[in-house]
Amino acid sequence: MSDQVELTILMPCLNEAETLAVCVEKAQAYLKRSGVSGEVLIADNGSTDGSQAIATAGGARVVPVAERGYGAALKGGIAAARGRFIIMGDADDSYDFSNLDAFVTRLRAGADIVMGNRFEGGIEPGAMPFLHKYLGNPVLSFLGRLFFRIKVGDFHCGLRGFNTEAVRRLRLETSGMEFASEMVVRASLAGLTIEEVPTTLKKDGRSRPPHLKTWRDGWRHLRFLLVYSPRFLFFYPGLALIALGLLGMVALFPGPLHVGARLKLDIHTYLVAAMTLLVGVQALSFSVVARRYGALLGFLPASDSLERVLHAFSLERVLRAALVLALVGLAFTIWAFASWAGTGFGDLQYGRVMRVLILGLTGLASAIQLAFTAFLASVVEMPLKR
């Protein structure tokens, strides 16, 4: 666009009259000192305390965003920004907008996203709640690195810079605090370059409580990370449950198992193992459907290895395998029923007959799950392929 500048300093705002003026002043001072051509943009989310007038008086441009939420405000600001690069940060005076050189340098060098790291740069006493500092942020950042192999130490730092067009192409969707996670995860899945620089965090200048709610927003971040990683949500737990269930059933099929002098594992544990196996099969099925659905919609990258596996396991092949498994399960079930009939339909003893019956029913249930999953995958694919 003809009026494009190099840098937009973007701040989401909802009733930040206490601190907005000083944030705008620091951002304007940085642009003047550094010689970077830029603008200060306030994405106002419906303030009622005069924040808009304060921002305008400080020389900032204000864009109103009707949809409520941290992510919604930032999406509105990103859409309206004129800068080739954007550096976003909270308008509560907790981040230092007068010291953005490291972000600009990395962006100019070609990084798509430059994250601030508060743990490396320094956190002022009282600036971050205890649970956020020692539990929430470290745990969620660890999960982000584990699930998506992103080498970022501070997943949720609110001060970050990015290439405007690169992030617009991601078409970010979340409207709440989980927007911070979505940007990093979607950028990584899209193959964008993500780098990190130290930054500082000081206690914010507001007299009111922050918009961030510890448990609600922590859950929203965790939920997002899980939904975007079918491997860790479904596949790995499914494999673990199947292995555990099979181990229990194989170990207990011959008869009771004594562990030590006091512990005896028998038919009840065998039944638990069978249920564990069934849940594992279901989780594994979910992982295939979720991964395929995500790839077809485009919010998860396509996988050549997954495509080969899915091609090998077509609907007809899975149905044939399910049929074989169902016949085996049915045979065990019929044998158990015949054995029960041979006793005059009396009480079933916790012995061989019950073990065979549980094995047969587990096979039948697994076969039904596989068949339903194969049909579900086909139903999902039809409209998406069109």
5-227 topology per CATH: Spore Coat Polysaccharide Biosynthesis Protein SpsA; Chain A (3.90.550)
**What pLDDT does 1 receive?**
45
| Mean of pLDDT over the chain | 90
Taking the domains of the chain in order of start, what are their residue ranges? 5-227, 230-385
What's the per-residue H, E or C state across the chain? CCCCEEEEEEEEECCCCCCHHHHHHHHHHHHHHHCCCEEEEEEECCCCCCHHHHHHHCCCEEEECCCCCHHHHHHHHHHHCCEEEEEECCCCCCCCCCCCHHHHHHHHCCCCEEEEEHHHHCECCCCCCHHHHHHHHHHHHHHHHHHHCCCCCCCCCCCEEEEHHHHHCCCCCCCCCCHHHHHHHHHHHCCCCEEEEECCECCCCCCCCCCCCHHHHHHHHHHHHHHCCHHHHHHHHHHHHHHHHHHHHHHHCCCCEEECCCEEECHHHHHHHHHHHHHHHHHHHHHHHHHHHHHHHCCCCCCHHHHHHHHHCCHHHHHHHHHHHHHHHHHHHHHHHHHHHHCCCCCCCCCHHHHHHHHHHHHHHHHHHHHHHHHHHHHHHHHHHC
Percentage of the chain exceeding pLDDT 90: 64
Residues of the chain with pLDDT under 70: 1-2, 296-299, 301-307, 309-312, 348-350, 383-386
pLDDT for the residue 227 = 87
